[in-house]
Amino acid sequence: MTASEMLLAVAADAEQRVHDVGTGRYLFVESRGWYLKTTVADGVTSSKIAPVYRRQWKAADGSGRILSVWGTPYAVPAPGEEIWRDPYEDHWRDEDDRFEPGGLHLSWRPEDLSSKPEELRNQLTAGQTDVTPIRVLTAVRDLYNEQPVVPSVAAAVLRIVADLPGLHSDQRYAGVRVSLDVDDESYSTRHVLMFDEDTGLLIGSEELLMRSAGYLEASVPCVVSRRIYIRAARTEFCGPA
C-alpha cells in the first residue's frame, strides 16, 4: 500500500469518528519536543539536543500563555541511538510567558476551517505565492501546533497530504508515517508526519538532516527537530496558577 493509499484509508474512517475537542475560549496544545541547538564560541561549534515539555493556550483575541519546561541540552547521539530524554530527567529551566490580547498570533480560526480538501488547502496556504509540497506539509504541521482539530478537518488534512507528489511511507513504525525529502545546495532534509491510524490525528512530526552540513558536527541522518502531541482541546481556563 502506498503512502497516499494509507492516508486515504485512514481519512475515510477518521471523518466518521466522534472526537469532541470540548468548549472554551482557549485552544490548548500539549506536546513534547526535541530540538538541535548549535552554538559557536571562540570558533568552536557545538551541537546538542534540547528537550522541552510545552503547554500552550491561545484565544481568538491573541491572549494566552506558553508554559515550557526545558531539560539540560545533551550530546547528539549517533544514528540509531535513543535520543528522546525526558526534560524532567535533568531539569534546566522553566519559561512561563503570558500574553495580553494581541500578544499571540492565531493563524486560523477553527470555525472557519473547511472540511473540503481543496478549500482547506487554500486556507492553510493563503498568502503564499509558491505553494510547494513542503510548504503544504509545513502548514499542516503548523495547524496542529496551534490548535485541536475536529474529525472532519482531520480527514481533509489527510486527503491534502495524500495528494502531495513525492510522498513516501515508512511502515516499520506504528501508525501512518509519511515523509517528503527536500534537497538544495546546502542541505538535504526529510520532513516526517506521523498520524494515528484510528483517529486520523497528527501525533508527531520530525525533521531530519540527511546530508552532512559540516559545521553542525552531527552524524547523519540526524534529527533536527521532533515533536510529539500529547493532548489538544478547548478549555475555559489558561492553565495552572
Q: Using one digit for the tens of pLDDT, what is the confidence trace for 178-226?
A: 999 998 766 788 999 999 998 999 999 999 887 766 656 667 777 889 9
Range of lowest pLDDT (19-28, 91-100, 213-222): 213-222
Q: Give Cβ neighbours of residue 15 (< 8 Å, ≥ 6 apart).
A: 115, 151, 152, 154, 155, 200
Indicate if the pLDDT at residue 41 is higher than 70: no
Q: How confident is the model at residue 133 (pLDDT cuts 50, 70, 90)?
A: very high
Cell 498570533 locates to 105
Among 152, 162, 157, smallest CA distance to 121 is for 157
Cα dihedral 132, 36, 228, 169 sign = positive
Considering the chain, what is the average pLDDT of its residues? Answer: 89
Residue 37 has pLDDT above 90, yes or no: no
**pTM of the predicted model as reported, rounded to 2 decimal places:** 0.90
Residue 63, pLDDT score: 96
170-172-173 Cα angle (round to 5) = 90
Give CA 182 to chain center in angstroms: 17
pLDDT (mean) for 5-27: 89
Contact 73, 39 (CB under 8 A): no
* Mean pLDDT score, 10-22: 85
The 8-class DSSP code of residue 118 comes to: H
In angstroms and rounded to an integer, the radius of gyration of the C-alpha atoms of the chain is 18
Task: Give per-residue pLDDT as tens, 137-175.
Answer: 999 999 999 999 999 999 999 999 999 999 998 766 667
